[in-house]
Amino acid sequence: MKLDTCLLAALVALVLPLCSWTAALSSHEDNMVLSSTVTSGHWKFNDVTNISTFLLDPDTGMLYLGARDAIIAVDTAKTLMYRKIMWNVTEEKSSSCVTKGKTEADCNNYIRLLEFLGDGRIYACGTYAFDPQCAFVNISNFTLEKFEDGTDKMEIGKGKCPFEPSQHYTAVMAGGILYTATTSNFLGTLFDISRATGVEQERIRTERSINWLSDPEFVSSAFIQEDQNNNPTGEDDKIYFFFTEVAKEYDFYTKVKVPRVARVCKSDIGGMKTLQRRWTTFLKAQLVCEDRGSGQRFNILTDVFTKQHEPGDPSSTHFYGIFTSQWEREEMSAVCVYSLKDITKVMDGPFKELKRTCENWMNPEPVPTPRPGQCLNNALKAQGFDSSLKLPDKVLTFMRDHPLMENSVVAAPLLVRNGVTYTKVAVTLTPLSNSKHNATVLHLGTDHGELHRIAVVGPNATLLQEIPLFPASESINNILLYKDDALVGSPNSLVKLPAKGCSLYNSCEMCARAHSLGCVWSINKAACSLAATESGEVLKSDVLISRCGSSTERCSPEIKDLPVSEGLHVLLPCVQVSPRPCHWKHPPQRHTRRHLSDLEVRVTSESNGTYMCFCEEAGREQPACPRAAFRLLLQEPRASLSALQSSSRQFVASYILSFLVGVAVCVFVVCLICRHHKRGGGGHSSSTSEKGRDLLPSSDTPQSPSSSSLFSEAVPFAEKRNGTLNGHGGHISERKCGYIYTNSSGLKLQDTSLHLVDEFPGRERAGLEGEEEGLGDGLSEIGEGLSGLEEELAKLHVLRGAPLAQCEESSI
């Protein structure tokens, strides 16, 4: 017998039970499959990743996408067809980037800017391995312009595009000139809002001062062009920038972030002496998004959508912003809207000043004339100030030291949602039937690949749809509205789906929610349509409510009895129809945790009682509506749980025992062979050698039970994740953990009664069968010793059951 053979036998004894255990665990891994509920176009770019930029040609419907090392052109009228330009980084540039400490993934070319130049070309800028470069795309043949030697025609992109792919950034084209807000150095420590193109002498930027920009995170920008036919005061065009920065006016123990809006004027070209090549019109103000009822303030701005409420009237512009809170641990999002008139009023108000003597912010000394930060208009030109170069130094000095306004632009949230993180917003205005006012429909993208539609009419917000578009790992990073469609993008995909019309709501209940938009349920067509187009065939509002379920029925849910056992976790669902908050009433002695509007309960001996969910649907002035009710009934633990624990202990004990037996047998045989060679001396006494060969196949170690029986029948627990239980467009993202999940049809308990074998193989005596003459005594002693070891292993308290699979997220 060779030593290698013995060690191989021991290794097999160790690996076989482990392989069966691993196979059992792997049999429960779910493959995530994307299933889209939309019927419109869906583009999946398998060879392109990190799509971050949208540019739409409204005349042709061609959509241009900026991605990693590529620019894509998608004809939105032709599904599944697109063209691609590869714009890669040279090997030399990539190697240089890696040697500077950056990862290979970051040392690619991430296209962050796409803008039309108006001459049949697109201006494209990318990070280009932390050395921003810009190129020109010929639209007609969709190629990059090249030099005569065949190389790509590029120019320096510093100040036009960020260095790092993940850096916050925004840019806007105004009159053929590019205005950007980005970092301007390799380390990402310098921030500029600048005029990045145009005449070299007119390329100006912000002052490098924390009073101007303090560690900002740029979000969005907008160009507001005055109406040439209706501008009696001759006001200049303006560019607005939205960002979040660290507030210097609050002296707290920690950094306080605040959302800001900043404004510069299009004709500003800097000062003559003071503020040379710097903005002379840079003003900023704080945005306040506060729920006055609860006092909750949202201070992190994540996205802004610009919308003219009256097309052609710049003064009717509104800015819709998504906010989160710096202080809340749970996911929470709010949407606030600010009018251009309110922002202009604050910009024309008092300035904020820091008095160094007492370290308190207060109003400054009298403001010089002409007013600092004012854009050029007819009145200034009449006084001889037809250029920012002619402004007095005292005005520019005051402007340099006082960029912040005293007052804030205040708004109350249109909606607040717990457990949801919104990433992008787009807005459509829908005329109300029999009213001059419009309803606001918010198209909101989440960080879990969902599109939510919410209608806002006055103080009431109604959740219309929750549509899963992408896997939960892909956040929505672009929403663009074109004609009657919405183009929604993630880092890897693009979806086109309808954005307007009552036909979006394919059930009576969903149509009833959209009743404020003029939608009613048609009897003949069994479809949702506008009331004006279906006269004579549509139900009246009171009949519609009674057909879909009256408010009395919806607010009187049936109490469901749920038998539970101590130690289990139960997830009680609550359907959140409105984006307004929900709350639970339950027994005082309980162990609970919120998951969106649902409630997780850890069952204890004191968990018996009624659990009811109340949701606000008509505003704070109306009483909350009960949406769900459950009664937990504590019962004895199921016998299968104890069977699982007992079987698990036997499984682990048998596994360890088989390994130890294999090692002991090999050691004994090796010692036996060594003793034989010492006595027999070199290869005689064939009878002894024959005995040694007969001993090997006679050894028999206890066989470990296959672990597949422990896990093959297990049903994964479910926990709701980021969504509502909505049968009409709702989405449930689940996480496999140790929960019991309930739905509207009742309780679905975890099937812990595993189909075990009738009994595990007995812990056999770990000796050798068929002992040869002269060795029986020694083998008997070893068998007795291993039998004693078996008894000791059986007493170990640490072997209390096999571990379950760790939590992992999936999307349904």
Q: What is the pLDDT of residues 159-213, one digit of tens each?
A: 999 999 999 999 999 999 999 999 999 998 999 999 999 999 999 999 999 999 9
Tokens matching residue 454: 């919410």
Q: For residue 131, what are the contacts with CB-CB under 8 A and spacing of at least 6?
A: 93, 97, 163
For residue 49, the model assigns a pLDDT of 92
Q: Closest Cα to residue 205, out of 140, 299, 281?
A: 281
Beta bridge partners of 411: 289
Q: What is the mean pLDDT of the chain?
A: 76
- Judge contact between 399 and 452, C-beta under 8 A: no
Q: Which residue in 209, 306, 210, 303 sits closest to 259, CA to CA?
A: 303
Q: What gap in Å lies between CA 795 and CA 649, rounded to an integer?
A: 10
Q: What number of other Cβ atoms are within 10 A of residue 635's Cβ?
A: 11
Q: Please report the DSSP string for 443-466 in residue order.
A: EEEETTSEEEEEEEETTEEEEEEE
Cα 647 from Cα 633, distance rounded (Å): 28
216-419, what's its fold? Methylamine Dehydrogenase; Chain H (2.130.10)
CA distance 603 to 566: 5
How many alpha carbons fall within 13 Å on the CB side of residue 20?
16
Which residues, including other chains, have CB under 8 Å from residue 651's CB and lie 6 or more apart?
704, 705, 707, 710, 760, 802
* Cα-based angle 228, 232, 236 (whole degrees, multiple of 5): 60
CA distance 181 to 485: 30
- Which pLDDT score, from 0 to 100, does residue 805 have? 38
Would you put residue 811 in left (φ > 0), alpha (ψ -120 to 50) or beta?
beta
Q: Report residue 276 as tokens.
A: 């040379």
Fill in the DSSP letter of residue 515.
G
pLDDT at 547: 60
Q: Using alpha carbons only, what angle is made at residue 432 by residues 429 and 437, rounded to the nearest 5 degrees? A: 70
What is the C-alpha separation between 709 and 757, in angstroms, rounded? 7
Instruction: Write down the residue that tokens 């922002």 correspond to.
Output: 343
> Which neighbouring-strand residues pair with 422?
446
Q: Is 257 helix (H, G, I), strand (E, B) or coil?
A: strand
The pLDDT score that the predictor gives to residue 793 is: 45
- Contact status, residue 111 vs residue 52, Cβ threshold 8 Å: yes
- What token pair was written down for 182? 């980005």
Closest to 570 measured CA to CA, from 810, 749, 808: 749
- Could you tell me the residue ranges of all domains in the chain? 3-29+639-714+751-811, 216-419
Which residues, in sequence order, are bridge partners of residue 321?
A: 304, 336
CA 379 vs CA 182, 269, 304, 399: distances in Å: 34, 19, 33, 19
Cα–Cα distance list, 451 to 477, 497, 676, 728 (Å): 11, 11, 78, 14
Sheet holding 317-324, edge to edge: 300-308, 317-324, 332-339, 415-418
Coil/strand/helix, residue 271? coil
| Number of Cβ within a 10 Å radius of residue 668 | 18
H-type alpha helices, 551-638:
551-554
Q: What does the buried/exposed string (b/e) look like for 114-141 if buried means 16 or more CB atoms within 10 Å of the residue's CB? A: bbbeeeebbbbbbbbbbbbbbbbbebee
Q: How far is CA 589 from CA 570, 602, 645, 648, in A?
A: 16, 11, 29, 33
Low-confidence spans in the chain with pLDDT less than 70? 1-40, 79-80, 251-252, 354-365, 433-435, 523, 532-554, 576-580, 589-590, 617-622, 637-655, 676-812
Q: Which two tokens stand for residue 99?
A: 């040697």
**Angle, CA 25 vertex, CA 19 and CA 28 arms, to 5°:** 140
**Is 524 within 8 Å of 516 (Cβ atoms)?**
no
DSSP helix/strand/coil, 567: coil
Buried (b) or exposed (e) across 503-522, using 16+ Cβ within 10 A?
ebbebbbbbbbbbbbbbbbb
Answer whether the bond into residue 350 is a cis peptide, omega within 30°: no
Distances (CA, A) of 328 to 252, 299, 333, 424, 447: 17, 11, 10, 20, 17
Please give the Cα distance from 267 to 254 (Å, whole number). 39
- Burial annotation 708-725 (CB, 10 A radius, 16+ → b, else e): ebbbeebebbbbbbbbbb
Q: What is the pLDDT at residue 251?
A: 67
Strand partners, 610: 631
Contact 519, 529 (CB under 8 A): yes
Q: How many CB atoms lie within 10 A of CB 47?
A: 8
